[in-house]
Amino acid sequence: MSLPLQIQKDSGLPVYVQVEQQLRLLMHQGELLPGDLLPTVRELAVELGVNSNTISRVYRDLQAAGLLVLRRGVGTFVAESAGVRPIRPKDLKGLVKKVDGLVELAQSLGMTSPELSQLIETRWKSNA
């Protein structure tokens, strides 16, 4: 099974964070549903060109968060009780449009992707 994940080695974000965030996003987008089988650690590591320990860490962290479940000898699955509610396509489309506008504005102001990410993270925490 192949997942639409992309690693940006020059993004400033650790690879394990990128993979974890993208897996969570796939769950929100409804592309990964409860009960879906994920690639093995080795398969995903080879596909992404990263160390197996990196993918093991992501799977462990998502398992600890209750989003994945490991069934020994069978595989790793999205947990039935993951609690991640897929975003309706209409809402996701609206969100993507706003993000595109934000990215365009940030680029026009000369901000880098890591700087914008940091700004968003800071604002997210202050609004929590």
DSSP 35-65: TPBPPPHHHHHHHHT--HHHHHHHHHHHHHT
What is the count of structural domains for the chain? 2
| Shared domain check, 71 and 21 | yes
- Burial string for 86-116 (b: 16+ CB within 10 Å, else e) reads ebeeeeeeeeeeeeeeeeeebeeeeeeeeeb
Question: pLDDT at position 82, please?
Answer: 66
Q: For residues 23 and 58, state if they share a domain.
A: yes
73 and 102 inside one domain: no
Question: Residue 104, SS3?
Answer: helix
Do 108 and 53 fall into the same domain? no
How crowded is the C-beta side of 91, counted as CA atoms within 13 Å?
A: 7
User: Mean pLDDT, to the nearest integer, of 13-18?
Assistant: 92
35 domain-assigned: yes
End-to-end CA distance of the chain: give it in Å, rounded: 36
What pLDDT digit, counting tens, does each position of 36-68 carry?
A: 999 999 999 999 999 999 999 999 999 999 999
When pLDDT is cut at 50, 70 and 90, the band that residue 117 belongs to is: confident
CATH of the domain at 46: 1.10.10.10
Closest CA to 67 of 76, 75, 55: 76
Q: Kindly state the average pLDDT of the residues 101-115.
A: 93
pTM: 0.77
Same domain flag for 74 and 94: no
pLDDT for res 103 = 93
Same domain, 101 and 66: no
Kindly state whether residues 64 and 28 are assigned to the same domain.
yes
* Percentage of the chain lying above the pLDDT 90 cut: 66
Q: Are residues 74 and 95 in the same domain?
A: no
Token readout for 118 is 């940091």
Q: Quote the mean pLDDT of the chain.
A: 91
Phi, psi of 68 (to 5 degrees): -125, 155
Same domain, 59 and 97: no
Range of the domain at 115: 89-126
Domain presence at residue 110: yes
User: How sure is the predictor about 17, in pLDDT bands with cuts at 50, 70 and 90?
Assistant: very high
